[in-house]
Amino acid sequence: MEAIVRLIAATAPVQTPDEIKAANAAIGAGFAYGLAAIGPGIGIGFVVGKAIEAMARQPEAAGMVRTTMFLGIAFTEALALIGFVVFILLGL
């Protein structure tokens, strides 16, 4: 990450310590959100895939499965959203 910062700093016309710090923070924010999105992405994929499988096997239970699926998505998604909040906080 330091290398990227240096690369960006090398192309930028001005390099005050504040700007380097801001660049660091921006890159950190990007990584924070990108990494935070991986796990929940896989998790939501599993949740929805299994829910669709369950609905296809037992269409009469579709309502219950859908409710539970949304609950599962909500809990899984929370991690990605915390990453998003960290992204905003770091970007400030």
Partner 1 sequence: MFTVTVTSTTTGASRAWVVQTAPIEGEAETVAEDKGPSPIAPEVKELAWGAGAFIVLFLLMRVVLFPRLKKGMDARYGKIRGDHEGADATRAAARAEVAEYEAEIAAVKAQAAQRIEAARNVLEDERTAALAELKARVGTQRAAATAANEAARAAAEQHVSTAVADVSSRAAELATGKRPKAADVTNIVASLMGGSQ
Partner 2 sequence: MLALKFPPINELIRWRDIFSNFNKVGVIAVAAALIGIMVFLVAGSRDPLVAPTGVRNLAETGVNFIENDIVMQTMGKDGLRWTPFLLSLFVFIYLCNLPGILPVLQMPATARMAIPLFLALTVWVVYNAVGLRHNGIKYLTLMAWPPGVPVGMRPLVGLIELLSNIVLRPFSLAVRLFANMLAGHMLLITFAFLTNALFFAETKQFALKPMSILPFFMLVFLTAFEVLVGFLQAYIFTILTAVFINAAQHPEH
Question: Residues interacting with partner 2, by CB under 8 A?
Answer: 63-64, 67, 70-71, 73-75, 77-78, 81-82, 84-85, 88, 91-92
Binding partner of 70, given partner 2, partner 1, none, CB within 5-8 angstroms per partner class: partner 2
Residue closest to 92 by CA, chosen among 10, 38, 22: 22
Angle made by CA atoms 44, 33, 11, in degrees to the nearest 5: 145
The region of 13-21, 40-48, 72-80, 84-92 touching partner 1 under the rule CB under 8 A is 84-92
Binding partner of 63, given partner 2, partner 1, none, CB within 5-8 angstroms per partner class: partner 2
